[in-house]
Structure 1
């Protein structure tokens, strides 16, 4: 029994660090790349998030794009998505049935979406080569898969051994990220509309990662007592 418990907890130990790293990679790269804009300041309120990872330089639909460190942002999205996918698959091993399949599938979908998001940045090329749909899939799938992942993790909180406050927080943050799409897109500034859904997921990943990291560290420090023989 002791060997089985150890084997089961081993993949769980990577979940917390992977989620935390995914958030930090994304936010740090975003801040660095945004600060490097040279022709004008990048606007967190007005500009599309994807402009940060766009190699195009010039005017696009009323926006002046010039992101010298676009490659850094693209790499960060791919790394972040890969970390979330790995964390989700590891977390799913603690579950069974539809919860296991759903959490693993959502994590993989979010990772795949961020790869598309990085590979097909929004700009004139998307209209010229007919790949706008790939950008849209990447953008919306990453938001939807990430926030649904938060909700399903919250619904699976008892099976995962998560504290009740975290399960409720997970569901609330995921719901905010999903409801924000129909409620704000089209009438609020683009940067704000996108970031509500993006940051709701990142906040969930950070909080969940910290809780799981603390939990796994605490378990690792607990002494293992050998069973007594009668």
Structure 2
């Protein structure tokens, strides 16, 4: 006679993140976007001679104390340390938020944690290697460019992954679709950014670069707010 195992021994359904976990994860994701935008605003406001341009200047310029000139742009950021602190912290906050979403299927949670870790690593590299252009001038490895590329890719892929987990995380399908669209928009902007760099014209380069970064940062803030107020359905 075959032994009949209890159903609980055969299959134990995954428990979705608890309400406290959701709230903490949501707060961390909100903090990720909030830290970045606050640091960028403060650093840009301090750059007054000449005024910093969100459409013309690279984001990385805000982390260069200067004064110096690189990539055809004058760099002078009096509060460069503020921007570099923002670079350092925003990715770590996003990583903390994703890690706190325990109880999700491994095939969904694993890639999200990996992308969040890559985003955090990219932010740390950006903070410790300001984009002054000295590395490329000397023929050395451009760690700042590497960190930026890591952040560009991982941030947008993470937004897409979170959007595809909308049902597991308990927020509406339309919000999930919006996150996927935001991530795709960021990746398309990355292609446009490369084209503008290759052309050498620098037309609206700051605007195009923000088209890469802003979609996933705004996505983090929105999904963080959703996680803090939504109830995940019992499965």
Partner residue, 2:86:
76
1:38·1:66 contact (CA, 8 Å) conserved in 2? no
- 1:185 CA displacement: 3.4
1:120·1:131 contact (CA, 8 Å) conserved in 2? no
1:38-64 deviations in whole A, cap 9, x for unaligned?
A: 431111011110010112312223211
1:11-69 deviations in whole A, cap 9, x for unaligned?
A: 32211111111111111111111011143111101111001011231222321111010
| Worse-superposed segment, 181-190 or 201-210 | 181-190
Q: What does 1:107-118 correspond to in 2, within 5 Å?
A: 107-118=116-127
Q: Distance in 1 between matches of 2:120 and 2:112?
A: 12
Q: Distance in 1 between matches of 2:99 and 2:16?
A: 17
Are positions 1:146 and 2:177 aligned together?
no
Are positions 1:159 and 2:174 aligned together?
no
- 1:131 CA displacement: 2.9
Partner residue, 1:223:
none
CA RMSD across the alignment: 2.2
Q: Distance in 1 between matches of 2:55 and 2:182?
A: 20
Question: Runs of 5+ in structure 2 lacking a partner?
Answer: 1-13, 197-202
Going from structure 1 to structure 2, the CA distance change for 1:117 and 1:20 (only over 3 Å counts) comes to same
Partner residue, 2:59:
49
Please identify which structure carries the higher helix content: 1
Q: Distance in 2 between matches of 1:6 and 1:122?
A: 41
Partner residue, 1:12:
22
Q: Distance in 2 between matches of 1:147 and 1:35?
A: 27
Partner residue, 2:105:
96
Higher relative CO (Cα under 8 Å, sequence separation at least 6) belongs to 2
Question: Runs of 5+ in structure 1 lacking a partner?
Answer: 220-230
2:123·2:148 contact (CA, 8 Å) conserved in 1? yes
* SS in structure 2 at match of 1:59: strand
* SS in structure 1 at match of 2:230: helix
Partner residue, 1:228:
none
Q: Distance in 2 between matches of 1:130 and 1:75?
A: 24
Partner residue, 1:63:
73
Partner residue, 1:135:
144
